[in-house]
Structure 1
Amino acid sequence: MKKVLFIVSMIMLSALQIQAQSSIDSENSKVEFSIKNMKFKTVEGSFGGMNGNVAFDPENLENSSFNVCIDPATVNTGSKKRDEHLKNEDFFDVEKYPEICFKSDEIAKIDNQYIAKGTLTMHGISNKVEIPFEQNGNTLNGQLTINRKDYKVGDDGTFMVGDEVKLNIIGTLKK
């Protein structure tokens, strides 16, 4: 009888772990960004095409993880000409680098906020980052500021395009 209960318990535990892993709802997920242009203007835009898997359990952070990518070819700034320029080899080079990905190493909680620590890979370059985020139902909202030069995106000048890129990440999980 103990053996049967153990097997049933293991099956139920496995089912709960599978339920905890969710895929991204690409239709309702995006990354919004803002960056200075010519030092006095701010260009805002977004990326869609988010996909991947999230295993997030606030009660079991050590088994939580993110493995999520976006498609840089979905860049949208409201200017078709600018968007096409951002897709070429001067910036994202979407033909050569079709994904921007984040893979977590650790999820922690500090006060009322979670932090996903891991590796952001863009333009063929990987750097460690920490993304503070909050959970709101089946949506995870995170913020991150990166330096585009750390990923060799754009030229070295900072007059036309600023260095700091502010990111707002909205990841909705499929139910």
Structure 2
Amino acid sequence: MLLLTNITSAYAQQTINQQKSIVNFHISGGVFFKVKGTFTGMQGDFNFDSKAIENANFQICIDAETINTSNNKRDNHLRSPDFFETETYPKICFQSKQVVKSASGYTTIGNLSIHGVTKEVEIPFTFENNIFTGNLTINRFDYDIGLDFGTFRVGREASVTITCVIE
């Protein structure tokens, strides 16, 4: 009976704390400044046990409509068909395929879907005190986000930090 309890708890699904989980990003907004912003509304399935990473599985989505750069006019433009087209593509999702141990923590390999485009990505991450922290760089053109306005106005690559708090 004790063995069954230990097996069950090792593979129990964990719950994402939506209020504490967030995706932060920054992208150059021209030569002289960077635009910083967030996405919230994280939800999905999170299964991770450092003692059994071969069983790890993440299926996590954020609400694209929640984009916030502290500028309402810019945020509405980012939600428009010019960029994220959130009425048509309301979610940004990641589905893991594999998790491997790395020198600095772990790496998850999986499919990232943004704006109707799915690409395989690798996300290096740490998992400490029930907090998943991962970082990656996304080229917005890989996901058909925005036109080429020239890098003087909008950069190509966004640095992204994912903080997923688990309960």
Task: Report the TM range for the smaller structure's normalisation.
Answer: over 0.9
The range that moved more, 10-19 or 44-53, is: 10-19
Tell me what 2:68 maps to. Answer: 76
Q: Which residue of 1 aligns with 2:134?
A: 142
> Is contact 1:34–1:165 with CA below 8 Å preserved after alignment?
yes
Residue 12 of structure 1 corresponds to which residue in structure 2?
5
Preserved CA contact (<8 Å) 1:149 1:163: yes
Q: Distance in 2 between matches of 1:132 and 1:113?
A: 7
2:40 maps to: 48
- Please tell me the root mean square deviation across aligned C-alpha atoms, in Å: 1.4
User: Hey, what does 1:114 align to over in structure 2?
Assistant: 106
Residue by residue over 1:146-170, the C-alpha shift from the partner in whole angstroms, topping out at 9 and shown as x without a partner, is: 1000000011233311000000110
TM-score by length of 1: 0.90
1:59 and 2:51 are equivalent in the alignment: yes
Structure 2: which 5+ residue stretches go unaligned?
none
Question: Which protein shows a greater Rg?
Answer: 1
Greater helix fraction, Structure 1 or Structure 2? 1
Tell whether the 8 Å contact from 1:139 to 1:172 is kept in structure 2 after alignment: yes
**Residues 39, 162 of structure 1: 8 Å contact kept:** no
**Identity value in percent:** 40
Q: CA deviation digits over 1:119-167, x for unaligned, max 9?
A: 0000000001000111121111110001000000011233311000000
Residue number among 157, 162, 166 corresponding to 1:169 in the alignment: 162
Displacement of 1:39 in angstroms is 2.6
Do residues 151 (structure 1) and 143 (structure 2) align? yes
What pairs with 1:114-133 in structure 2 (closer than 5 Å)?
Answer: 114-133=106-125
Contact preservation (8 Å) 2:10, 2:49: no
The separation in 2 between residues aligned to 1:118 and 1:10, in whole angstroms, is: 32
The alignment partner of 1:28 has SS state of coil
Unaligned runs of 5+ in 1: 1-7
Aligned length: 166
User: Greater shift after overlay, 92-101 or 104-113?
Assistant: 104-113
SS in 2 for 1:114: strand
